[in-house]
Amino acid sequence: MQEFEQYIGGDFSKASANFESLDPASGTAWALMPEAREADVNAAVEAAHAAFLAPEWADMTATARGKLLYRLADLVAENASELARLETRDTGKIIRETSAQIAYVAEYYRYYAGLADKIEGAHLPIDKPDMEVWLRREPVGVVAAIVPWNSQLFLAAVKLGPALAAGCTVVLKASEEGPAPLLAFARLVHEAGFPAGVVNVLTGFGPRCGAVLTSHPKVAHIAFTGGPDTARHIVRGSAENLASTSLELGGKSPFIVFEDADLESAANAQVSGIFAASGQSCVAGSRLVVAASVKEAFLAKLKAKAEAVIIGAPDNMATEVGPLCTAAQVACAEDIIARSLAAGAKLVTGGTRLEGAGHYFPPTILDCSAAPDAPCLTEEFFGPVLSAVSFESEAEALDIANDTAFGLASGVFTTSLTRAHRMIRGIRAGIVWVNTYRAVSPIAPFGGHGLSGHGREGGLAAALDYTRTKAVWLRTSDEPIPDPFVMR
């Protein structure tokens, strides 16, 4: 089996233990991964803290940091095909998706490379004539960046890019499910020439790795993408170090189709929103909210498209839906579907795992119009399962869309400009896509609220999250301070 190493303090090394990683397409072990435990985590944080204080990084100009990020971007672009192959092998995500996504990841590092020397402070028009006051933006310190297995190169870039641009150092924890591409990515960090300890990459399991990392006294900020349950553990652990947090936690995103929408275009967007990446996306449009007058026609279109999807080996460029990452996800999908059918949902297509090796599950559609409380409408689970409900009025559509504890993404399909603006204003979500879905850019921030978390990734807002302001007061008078017992 192929063996991977962790990256700490500028060196590649074996961890305290190892574990086998499974190929989702076959269910068999294919690689040996380093399992970081407390000693490894402590070493990584200490290396990041030392690097943060060392002149090689602390005294480096912002422009020079940007040049390192440009170099990293070039290396990601040059090695995108190999990184894509590893992500496909270790997570089951189809090669046509990983190839395109990782090639675009380089643009995130380029964006933050250009932003590095544009994170500015401010001069304050202070109300005291003998004072000059200005604000400096300075890096927060050591960042614990924790990413899940889905879209991991992308989700790492939206943390590493702004953190490094701001001058922080990072301990990047890859998911224990499919960590191969991030462990390989560490070699590109090394080749780019970042000072030792600025970026550290490891993987391991929650209690012995993640919990140690997020509660470490030298961690200043935690950037996490994952589920609400894990986020709660992280927030509790951060009580030990009072680290700030940015949490991107997924959702149950509404995909709203009005009667005047271009149904063919909306159907293609819905396929992208829920069946692409086998539904394993934090912004998956898993709740179809469709006008009653076009529901049957729209579901018929979706059923035909779902049943025409090419399911196969993830490393085949013709494949459109590959396996789910783990057997547990398949079991979860089956459980929620069974409970939803018992609650009154109607199966339109799919619904049963595919026979044979691997974690394959077909595109599935459930009509929940007669079961508005079905579990598939409220519980987040990663899988190619769409749950549909109908509405009669715009107000009802908005109520259904907002009837969730999550608030990450949403889609609105209509040809009415005024209606689109009303929905944009009314939907409680961090992202509203109008007549499109699942579009991203390094320029645009994304994030949510409620159980979808807080903070933003992407754009200038993300870089500012990795800084804190320092107020500098300079007295300009040559006269003695008049009364030392009075606050001025």
Amino acid identity, position 49:
H
| pLDDT over 90 at 381, yes or no | no
Task: State the pLDDT confidence band at 369, using cuts at 50, 70 and 90.
Answer: very high
3-state secondary structure of 390: strand
3-state secondary structure of 127: coil
Amino acid identity, position 267:
A
Burial class (CB in 10 A: 0-12, 13-18, 19+), 190: middle
Q: So what's the pLDDT on residue 432? A: 98
| pLDDT over 90 at 357, yes or no | no
Residue 225 CB contacts under 8 Å (≥ 6 apart), including other chains: 146, 147, 148, 155, 247, 248, 249, 282
- In the predicted model, what is the mean pLDDT of the chain? 95
Q: So what's the pLDDT on residue 484? A: 87
3-state secondary structure of 279: helix
| pLDDT over 80 at 488, yes or no | no
Task: Provide, rounded to the nearest whole percent, the portion of the chain with pLDDT above 70.
Answer: 100
What DSSP element (H or E) covers 31? strand 28-35
Q: Which of 74-78, 169-173, 309-313, 327-331 has the lowest mean pLDDT?
A: 327-331
Q: So what's the pLDDT on residue 120? A: 94
3-state secondary structure of 273: helix
Looking up tokens 């936690």 gives 249
Q: So what's the pLDDT on residue 278? A: 87
For residue 376, which of 344, 328, 340 has the smallest C-alpha distance?
340
Q: Which residues pair with 13 in a beta bridge?
A: 6
Residue 455 CA, chain-centre distance (Å), reads 12
Q: Write out the catalytic residue numbers.
A: 248
- Which part of the chain is CATH 3.40.309.10? 254-434
Whole-angstrom Cα Rg for the chain: 24
Q: So what's the pLDDT on residue 355? A: 87
Length of the chain as a residue count: 488
472 compared with 326, residue with greater pLDDT: 472
Pairing mode of beta strands 287-291, 254-257: parallel
| pLDDT over 90 at 63, yes or no | yes
Q: So what's the pLDDT on residue 155? A: 96
Sequence-ordered strand ranges (E) for 97-198: 122-124, 131-139, 142-146, 169-174
Q: What is the mean pLDDT of residues 122-134?
A: 96
Give the integer Cα–Cα distance in Å for 172 and 283.
Answer: 22
Q: So what's the pLDDT on residue 325? A: 86
| pLDDT over 90 at 358, yes or no | no
What DSSP element (H or E) covers 350? none
Q: What is the mean pLDDT of residues 444-471?
A: 94
Give the integer Cα–Cα distance in Å for 302 and 294.
Answer: 12
Q: What is the mean pLDDT of residues 243-252?
A: 93
Task: Kindly report, residue by residue over 402-439, the tens digit of the pLDDT.
Answer: 999 999 999 999 999 999 999 999 999 999 999 999 99
| pLDDT over 80 at 146, yes or no | yes
Integer CA distances (angstroms), 359 to 14, 21, 233, 312, in order: 30, 14, 28, 11
DSSP state of 294: G
Task: State the pLDDT confidence band at 277, using cuts at 50, 70 and 90.
Answer: confident
Q: What is the mean pLDDT of residues 442-456?
A: 94
Range 254-434: architecture per CATH: 3-Layer(aba) Sandwich (3.40)
Q: So what's the pLDDT on residue 315? A: 93
Residue 331 CB contacts under 8 Å (≥ 6 apart), including other chains: none
Looking up tokens 């961690």 gives 219
- Categorise residue 305: left if φ over 0, alpha if ψ from -120 to 50, beta otherwise: alpha
- Which part of the chain is CATH 3.40.605.10? 2-248+458-472
In this structure, how many other beta carbons lie within 10 angstroms of the beta carbon of residue 374? 23
Task: State the pLDDT confidence band at 487, using cuts at 50, 70 and 90.
Answer: confident
Asked: is 2-248+458-472 a CATH 3.40.605.10 domain? The reply is yes
| pLDDT over 80 at 105, yes or no | yes
Q: What is the mean pLDDT of residues 450-478?
A: 95
Give the integer Cα–Cα distance in Å for 120 and 266.
Answer: 42
Q: What is the mean pLDDT of residues 296-312?
A: 96
